[in-house]
């Protein structure tokens, strides 16, 4: 009998747990540890954040589903990994602290044969003074944050209906942020709702981002073929921002935030201030702070985790100049090199290098996007790792049997630009591969036959359909496994 413990029940962890339970006989244990009682379809939080959806539209309780499927559920947060066991234990285990109301603060040790780290990111609001719901800006990173953002949007709209002008600022809240796509979506949905409320003429709208150019999205931008010529996603994005009347600030590192005022440095090393009435800024991500402990109780965190707190896997972490990196440096199996029974999926794995070219201001401040690893790639990686573990347990395979390199993986993104069956639009983009491969595609790093972008009402219909389809899959409804990641 084998026990597989999954830390985290986001997109990647929940996907892994479902495929583990489906692929393993009942004699094997699948255990999920997550501090949250609800599963959240995070991509739709942008709609919660403008009042178009509620918490109930984007969440469901995990405990009843896992009980039905035969998955052991612990509402707890992982504290430390003990891959060599301990003084009185020969088996590896993970130490957890319960967050469930009736057991809050209780500590337990869960043995495992295989461990999947799917803890996702720590929302590092503390990296920028005044950032986040506990400071002076809003967030849509959780459904709770998004609900608060919606309330504040409604408050601004009421002021505008009384004739009071408002300044809206949306974007990234630090020079090393990722998830520019979420900020992009929220900005256009917010602008759309202001028009729908009839108050757009009283709104000044600014998008602030750490991207060197609009349309970078943390993947170095995209090139599309259109009407016989090739354009960069910068042209695509800038035309959309201009059409909707949004001004933009690129190459910005937000230094601190005070009530109604953002202080930032640009790539020229200049300091600027930006006033706002409402702001939604994405925070930087970091690892959740898991520790690793050796058999003798010694700290081996640096052996397993990178400096940013994400778990090291089968990537090439050798320090190199950006132009010397290769697509083959990216992980294939997501297996830790030191402990073969430990894997990391989704945001929890440490990327070997940036996808966008790293930049610093003239004063030396890093200002460039970190690699995105959310959504479709997270789910694909979660499924691949789960399938490999099933093959090792069921077939006695000597090692991982599935690969899911982001340098050999395509991705599709449908970014809402305003919700409405008749007037709603969305930007639909695909890319192959996610991580550019300049050895295979020397001119642009990607296959232009499978990389494109366009905006239209059909994209909104697809976005809405995907919302319901992925919730259906996450709830493990009949034939859920037939729905692609």
Grouping H, G, I as helix, E, B as strand and the rest as coil, residue 237 is helix
Residue 366 has pLDDT above 90, yes or no: yes
Residues 263/255, Cβ–Cβ less than 8 Å = yes
pTM for the model:
0.96
Residue 300 has pLDDT above 90, yes or no: yes
Q: How confident is the model at residue 187 (pLDDT cuts 50, 70, 90)?
A: very high
Strands (DSSP E) contained in 259-386 are 261-266, 271-275, 278-282, 285-286, 291-292, 342-344
Q: What is the pLDDT of residues 23-32, one digit of tens each?
A: 999 999 999 9
Query: Under CATH, what is the fold of the domain 3-123+286-395?
Result: FAD/NAD(P)-binding domain (3.50.50)
Residue 359 has pLDDT above 80, yes or no: yes
Residues 75/35, Cβ–Cβ less than 8 Å = yes
Q: How confident is the model at residue 130 (pLDDT cuts 50, 70, 90)?
A: very high
pLDDT of residue 89: 82
Residue 93 has pLDDT above 90, yes or no: yes
Q: What is the pLDDT of residues 412-463, one digit of tens each?
A: 888 888 887 777 888 888 999 999 999 999 999 999 999 888 888 888 888 9
pLDDT of residue 254: 98
> Closest Cα to residue 348, out of 328, 368, 331?
331
Dist CA 203 CA 201 (whole Å) = 6
For the chain, domain boundaries: 3-123+286-395
Mean pLDDT of 166-182: 96
Residue 143 has pLDDT above 80, yes or no: yes
Across all residues in the chain, what is the average pLDDT? 95
Residue 373 has pLDDT above 80, yes or no: yes
Dist CA 333 CA 399 (whole Å) = 9
Dist CA 195 CA 437 (whole Å) = 41
Q: What is the pLDDT of residues 302-347, one digit of tens each?
A: 999 999 999 999 999 999 999 999 999 999 999 999 999 999 999 9
Q: How confident is the model at residue 214 (pLDDT cuts 50, 70, 90)?
A: very high
Residue 227 has pLDDT above 80, yes or no: no
Pairing mode of beta strands 252-258, 261-266:
antiparallel
Residue 232 has pLDDT above 80, yes or no: yes
Residue 226 has pLDDT above 80, yes or no: no
Q: What is the pLDDT of residues 188-203, one digit of tens each?
A: 999 999 999 999 999 9
Q: Alpha carbon of 218 to those of 197, 267, 323, 327, 451: distances in Å? A: 32, 16, 16, 16, 16
Cross-strand bridge partners of residue 430: 412, 452
pLDDT > 70: percent of the chain: 100
pLDDT of residue 460: 80
Cross-strand bridge partners of residue 89: 86
**Crossing angle (nearest 10°) for helices 11-23 and 62-69:** 20
What burial letters (b/e) apply to 230-268, b meaning 16+ CB within 10 Å? Answer: ebbbbebbbebbeebebebbbbbbbbebeeeebbbbbbe
Mean pLDDT of 248-258: 98
Cross-strand bridge partners of residue 205: 168
Mean pLDDT of 473-481: 97
Task: Please provide residue 400's backbone torsions phi and psi, each rounded to the nearest 5 degrees.
Answer: -55, 140
Question: What is the biggest distance separating any 2 CA atoms in the chain, rounded to whole angstroms?
Answer: 70
Residue 101 has pLDDT above 90, yes or no: no
| Pairwise pLDDT comparison (450 vs 71), residue with the higher score | 71
pLDDT of residue 384: 98
Dist CA 295 CA 88 (whole Å) = 9
Cross-strand bridge partners of residue 43: none
pLDDT > 90: percent of the chain: 88
Q: How confident is the model at residue 77 (pLDDT cuts 50, 70, 90)?
A: very high
Q: How confident is the model at residue 225 (pLDDT cuts 50, 70, 90)?
A: confident
pLDDT of residue 298: 95
Residues 349/311, Cβ–Cβ less than 8 Å = yes
pLDDT of residue 326: 94
Q: Alpha carbon of 440 to those of 224, 321, 437, 444, 463: distances in Å? A: 17, 20, 6, 10, 32
Residue 369 has pLDDT above 80, yes or no: yes
Dist CA 396 CA 58 (whole Å) = 39
Dist CA 133 CA 125 (whole Å) = 9
């Amino acid at each position: 009998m084998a026990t597989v413990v999954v830390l985290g029940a986001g997109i990647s962890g929940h996907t892994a747990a479902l495929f583990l339970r489906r692929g393993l006989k009942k004699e094997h244990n699948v255990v999920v540890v997550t501090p949250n009682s609800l599963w959240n379809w995070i991509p739709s939080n942008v709609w919660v954040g403008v009042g178009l959806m509620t918490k109930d539209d984007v969440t469901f309780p995990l405990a009843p589903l896992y009980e039905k499927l035969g998955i052991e559920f612990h509402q707890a947060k992982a504290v430390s990994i003990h891959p060599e066991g301990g003084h009185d234990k020969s088996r590896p285990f993970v130490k957890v602290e319960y967050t469930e109301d009736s057991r809050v603060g209780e500590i337990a040790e869960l043995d495992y044969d295989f461990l999947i780290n799917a803890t996702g990111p720590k929302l590092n609001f503390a990296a920028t003074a005044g950032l986040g719901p506990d400071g002076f800006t809003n967030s849509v990173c959780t459904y709770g944050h998004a609900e608060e953002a919606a309330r504040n949007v409604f408050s601004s709209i009421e002021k505008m209906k009384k004739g009071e002008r408002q300044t809206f600022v949306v974007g990234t809240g630090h020079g090393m942020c990722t998830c520019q796509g979420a900020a992009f979506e929220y900005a256009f949905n917010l602008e759309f709702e202001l028009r729908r409320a009839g108050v757009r003429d009283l709104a000044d709208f600014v998008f602030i981002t750490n991207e060197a150019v609009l349309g970078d999205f943390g993947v170095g931008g995209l090139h599309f073929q259109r009407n016989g010529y090739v354009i960069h996603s910068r042209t695509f994005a800038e035309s959309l921002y201009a059409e909707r009347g949004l001004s933009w600030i690129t190459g910005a590192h937000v230094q601190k935030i005070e009530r109604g005022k953002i202080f930032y440095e640009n790539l020229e090393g200049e300091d600027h201030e930006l006033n706002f009435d409402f702001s939604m800024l994405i925070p930087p991500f970091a690892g959740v702070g898991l520790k690793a402990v050796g058999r003798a109780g010694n700290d081996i965190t640096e052996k397993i985790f990178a400096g940013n707190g994400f778990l090291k896997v089968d990537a090439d972490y050798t320090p190199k100049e950006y132009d010397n990196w290769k697509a083959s440096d990216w992980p294939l199996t997501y297996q830790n090199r030191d402990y073969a029974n430990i894997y990391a999926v989704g945001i929890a794995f440490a990327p070997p290098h940036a996808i966008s070219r790293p930049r610093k201001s003239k004063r030396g401040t890093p200002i460039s996007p970190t690699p995105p690893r959310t959504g479709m790639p997270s789910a694909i990686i979660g499924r691949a790792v789960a399938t490999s573990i099933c093959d090792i347990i069921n077939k006695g395979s000597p090692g991982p049997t599935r690969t899911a390199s982001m340098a050999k993986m395509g991705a599709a993104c449908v970014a809402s630009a305003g919700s409405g069956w008749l007037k709603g639009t969305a930007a639909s983009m695909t890319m192959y591969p996610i991580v550019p491969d300049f050895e295979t595609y020397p001119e642009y790093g990607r296959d232009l036959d499978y990389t494109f972008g366009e905006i239209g009402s059909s994209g909104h219909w697809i976005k809405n359909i995907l919302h319901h389809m992925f919730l259906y899959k996450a709830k493990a409804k009949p034939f859920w496994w037939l729905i692609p990641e």
